[in-house]
Amino acid sequence: MKPIQVALIGTGTVGGGLLRVLSRNREEITRRAGRDIVVARVGARDVAKARKLVGPDLPVDADLMAVVTDPAIEIVVELIGGVVDAKRLVLAAIAAGKHVVTANKALLALHGNEIFAAAQDRGVMVAFEGAVAGGIPIIKALREGLTANRVEWIAGIINGTSNFILSSMRDTGASFASALAEAQRLGYAEADPTFDIEGIDAAHKLSIMSAIAFGIPMQFERAYTEGISQLTADDIRYAEELGYRIKLLGISRRVESSEDGRASGIELRVHPTLIPAKRLLANVEGVMNAVLVKGDAVGPTLYYGAGAGAEPTASAVVADLVDVTRLHTADPEHRVPHLAFQPDSLSNTPILPIAEVRTAYYLRLRVADKPGVLADITRILADAGISIGAVLQKEPAEGTHATDIIMLTHGTLEKRVDAAIDRIESLASALSKVTRIRVEDLA
């Protein structure tokens, strides 16, 4: 059988990794795919730089659209990143009847609904394992491996940069700014780290996983997103004292209507989270990623590995290439749907606003060191229907008349905590804003 012809758009870190993996493991990949997979053309904005990577024998073209629409090309691998140009090229490839493999999470989170609809109409595949958690095969697990399950929730450490920063803060006692600088020095954080440290990258990935897990359209714009830039070394230390660790988690959970007035829906949220130190996710360190999925039949399953990098992500891209090659001539009706559920069976289950989320909370406040302050705070929480699970009150620093009070609450609605925080911060004894971090057991 003749080789399948592939166009590679983008020769950055992952593009280079893809070429190396395809070359090094060519025999093994061919045996799995049933035919040879050949990169026949390369599209790159910087032709000279790309040619150094691919060598003299492989055609390199700065006209990306010409590469994508070449009639000889059967699969387009999009690895240029960004959204505007990537969307234009991917839709052009689909319109030309090409299958697409992409690792572009922002593209899919923002425009996946349009892209998948176009692919469905044209009868081609869009594969995207590399878009979430690097080399961890979480997309395939959700789409196929767990297909017998009604997924109850997903909780994941899905951004290696933020996880490295939090691990560094815990291990060394460093401030957030110092840990970020170290991540940048080591190449784990970009010069502009906003997408990573503010949770946007994780929200892109969570939106994709949630759509597959719950059979809903992509809804990134409804995700609640909160990053780690406001966390302090004090919070890391106090969490440890209470038996917890802080991780930036992406959490998506199916919620049924309940007695406390919550409607049914899907939680879709990214934020710093206290996790009991004994839990597996709490012990994922450095730049590693991990995703915990709870299915009704299988129970909790954990997927762990390198969440980024040239060859880990290339591993996922090549796996997609093999899948597309195997199914290249298959009847489109017999392929696994892009979002696991048949397109006409997607649900309109709403995404719940963060005010309707129910979880436990870590609350920290600096107050005047005088009698009755703790009683005032606990009375406000009680009035809001919030019960307290644990309290730490620190000794005042020498020469000051202020102390930190740290509380862990039992589970309650976010809107109740919002109302209580407003009242607590209005106390004359309150010397700071309340730091609020959500707590999840993930049992």
- CATH code of the domain containing 70: 3.40.50.720
Q: Within this chain, do residues 377 and 396 fall inside the same structural domain, yes or no?
A: yes
Same domain, 168 and 22: no
The pLDDT score that the predictor gives to residue 232 is 96
CA–CA separation, 436 and 151 (whole Å): 28
What is the C-alpha to C-alpha distance for residues 267 and 253, in angstroms, rounded to an integer? 5
**Phi and psi of 307, rounded to 5°?**
-90, 0
Residue 351 maps to a domain: no
- Name the pTM for this structure: 0.95
Query: Cα–Cα distance between 286 and 282 in angstroms, integer?
Result: 12
Examine the domain organization and report whether 184 and 101 are in the same domain: no
205 noted as active-site residue: yes
Residues 103 and 114 both lie in one domain: yes
Full residue range of the structural domain in which residue 135 is found: 4-139+310-345
Same domain, 173 and 242: yes
Identity of the residue numbered 255:
V
| Bridge partners (DSSP) listed for residue 302 | 292
Angle 105-122/200-214 helices, nearest 10 degrees?
30
Domain shared by 232 and 158, yes or no: yes
The distance of Cα 376 from the centroid of its chain, to the nearest Å, equals: 39
Give yes or no: residues 132 and 28 share one domain: yes
Q: What single-letter amino acid sits at 253?
A: R
Residues 68 and 132 grouped into a single domain:
yes
Tell me what pLDDT residue 330 has: 76
d(CA 209, CA 303): 13
Cβ contacts of residue 275 below 8 Å, gap of 6+? 244, 245, 246, 247, 249, 281, 282, 439, 440, 441, 442
| 350 found inside a domain | no
The predicted structure's pLDDT at residue 260 = 66
Catalytic pick from 87, 98, 105, 205?
A: 205
Rounded CA gap, 89 and 242, in Å? Answer: 51
| Phi, psi angle pair for 273, to nearest 5° | -140, 135
If one counts the domains in the chain, the total is 3
Q: Are residues 105 and 220 in the same domain?
A: no
Asked if 424 and 324 sit in the same domain, the reply is no
Chunked mean pLDDT (size 10), the chain, 443 residues: 95 94 96 95 94 90 97 97 96 98 98 96 96 95 96 97 97 96 95 97 98 96 98 96 97 84 89 97 96 97 94 96 89 85 90 96 95 95 96 84 95 97 97 97 88
Q: What is the pLDDT of residue 255?
A: 94
Alpha-carbon distance of 231 to 435, in angstroms, equals 9
Contact 333, 246 (CB under 8 A): no
- Is 57 part of any domain? yes
Cβ–Cβ contacts within 10 Å for residue 88, how many? 13
